[in-house]
Amino acid sequence: MKTNQHVTVVGAGLAGCTLARILAESGIAVTVHESREHIGGNCHDSRCRQTGVMIHRYGPHIFHTDRPEVYAFLERFTQFTDYRHRVRTVANGQVWPLPVNMLTLNQFWGTALSPQQARERLDTLRAPTQEAPEHLEAQALQLMGVDLYQLFFKGYTQKQWGRAATSLPASILRRLPFRFNYDDRYFQQARQGIPDKGYTQMALRMLEHPLITLRLNSPVTPLQMQDAGRKSHLFWTGPLDSFFDYEAGRLPYRTLDFEEFTAQGDFQGCAVMNYSDEDVPWTRITEHKHFMPDEHHEQTVCWREFSREAQPEDIPYYPVQQTLDDPLLKHYLKRAEETENVTFIGRLATFRYQDMDAVIWDAMQVAQRFIAGEKLTFPDSRA
Ligand SMILES: Cc1cc2nc3c(=O)[nH]c(=O)nc-3n(C[C@H](O)[C@H](O)[C@H](O)COP(=O)(O)OP(=O)(O)OC[C@H]3O[C@@H](n4cnc5c(N)ncnc54)[C@H](O)[C@@H]3O)c2cc1C
């Protein structure tokens, strides 16, 4: 089926690939412009030439979802391994399981408490409950008391965000799980894993459709779109502020630097080891081969990860949390609302941290509503 309709998608990350695929399957011709030389956005992976290990090129990515529709959609393009993410953290000279669970608590207190006893003990350590803790530190003290907070979160937060926990929104920590059982899986969603041939291969298969044209090394500026007298609808998955040429300033992002080293055998025994102490400059070490436990590699490739404020030339990784009242964010959201014929979608264009499944879900909804004749400026989740 072909409809003579044509749209442009900017960005070949998971938002762009999902949009392109669903629109193309409805008969709409899609041109995807990607500024980088590869697809997959920040989920891009490729094998290390020297060792053969699959490397997550923009940091470790583990797929997890409770949305059956998203999983069913992706299963058309890949199979998932049954990898389950378990994170450890080095703090004060010991290795601890995270998120905080019964093992962490009993190790921390040197006890063998039951869940009920642990709850009771923690209740005596927690700061009094406030209805709406005004910042991350207040939230943490209310959740776990001062000692656990200082060991696991204070230094890590400072390194990750470059700001004191008292200047960060409480919502960052509200997301962190805290468990009174021995479940040490990082994610609890029903469906989890890693694409068995990698994220890039999955994205490639999503784009394999006769109505999709992919242009790599093709950065698009909004000016170009306007110059071309844009007639067709545009789906923008690049940074929100870049669409408006940073007219009011840059939205704040953290960027990451990775320091690679190789070794023989097994370096740390797990895929991700966090480092909570403030005097250790890196936030974590990723040992990539552990994401593919069924593969055997003599050598191992590890990445030390460092977080810092993004400069204009850096890759934007984590949006520094702003409330919707922030004047800069408000400015760009309003500008977007006033822009016709453009949908802003994905983690950069909506200026939010979003997991992969949330981005894909948004793209599925937006594409289906576009096919039904509705043109959204933002997905419903950016309310
Ligand atoms: C370090 C890190 C770890 C993460 N780990 C997980 C995880 O374990 N599990 C999980 O579910 N999620 C994880 N995420 C989130 C995940 O990366 C995102 O959900 C996902 O990448 C979002 O896809 P996207 O298409 O919105 O954005 P992106 O992947 O950023 O894709 C946007 C694309 O647009 C291109 N682009 C931008 N501007 C232009 C332009 N002007 N012209 C042309 N192309 C342009 C970019 O080059 C990029 O390829 C992690 C994120 C980070 C930062």
DSSP class per residue in 173-212: HHTS---SSS---S---SEEE-BTT-HHHHHHHHH-STTE
- Cα(347) to centroid of ligand 1, in Å? 6
Residues of the chain with CATH 3.40.50.720: 6-44+66-81+192-249+321-371
Half-sphere exposure of 198 toward its Cβ, with a 13 Å CA cutoff? 22
Tens of pLDDT along 13-53? 999 999 999 999 999 999 999 999 999 999 999 999 999 99
Tens of pLDDT along 232-258? 899 999 999 999 999 999 999 999 999
Tens of pLDDT along 128-151? 877 788 888 998 898 889 999 999
- Cα(105) to centroid of ligand 1, in Å? 35
Given a cut of 60, whether residue 229 has pLDDT beyond it is: no
Tokens of 109: 């207190």
DSSP 272: E
Query: Mind telling me the catalytic residues?
Result: 175, 179, 254, 284, 305, 353, 355
DSSP class per residue in 311-365: PTTSPP-EEPP--TT-HHHHHHHHHHHH-TTEEE-STTTTTS---HHHHHHHHHH
**Predicted pLDDT at 11:** 98
Tokens of 228: 């071309």
CB of 36 within 6 A of ligand 1: the answer is yes
Task: Provide mean pLDDT across the span 42-70.
Answer: 98
Kindly calculate the radius of gyration of the chain based on its CA atoms and give it in whole angstroms: 22
Nearest-CA residue for ligand 1 atom 2 is 59
Q: Under a CB-based contact definition with an 8 Å cutoff, are residues 310 and 255 in contact? A: yes
Q: Under a CB-based contact definition with an 8 Å cutoff, are residues 218 and 282 in contact? A: no
Task: Provide mean pLDDT across the span 169-193.
Answer: 86
Given a cut of 70, whether residue 104 has pLDDT beyond it is: yes
- Cα(42) to centroid of ligand 1, in Å? 4
How far apart are alpha carbons 105 and 118 in whole angstroms? 7
> pLDDT-based confidence at 98, cuts 50/70/90?
very high
Tokens of 54: 């699959």
Ligand 1 atom closest to 61 (CA): 8
Given a cut of 70, whether residue 158 has pLDDT beyond it is: yes
How far apart are alpha carbons 33 and 10 in whole angstroms? 5
Q: What sections of the chain are H helices per DSSP? A: 14-25, 68-75, 102-109, 115-125, 136-148, 155-161, 171-174, 199-207, 222-227, 240-243, 327-338, 356-371
Nearest-CA residue for ligand 1 atom 33 is 11
Fold of 6-44+66-81+192-249+321-371: Rossmann fold (3.40.50)
Tokens of 264: 């023989």
Given a cut of 90, whether residue 171 has pLDDT beyond it is: no
SS3 of residue 107 by DSSP: helix
CB of 10 within 6 A of ligand 1: the answer is yes
Q: Which residue out of 42, 214, 272, 360 has the highest number of ligand 1 atoms within 8 Å of its CB and is therefore the one to mutate?
A: 42
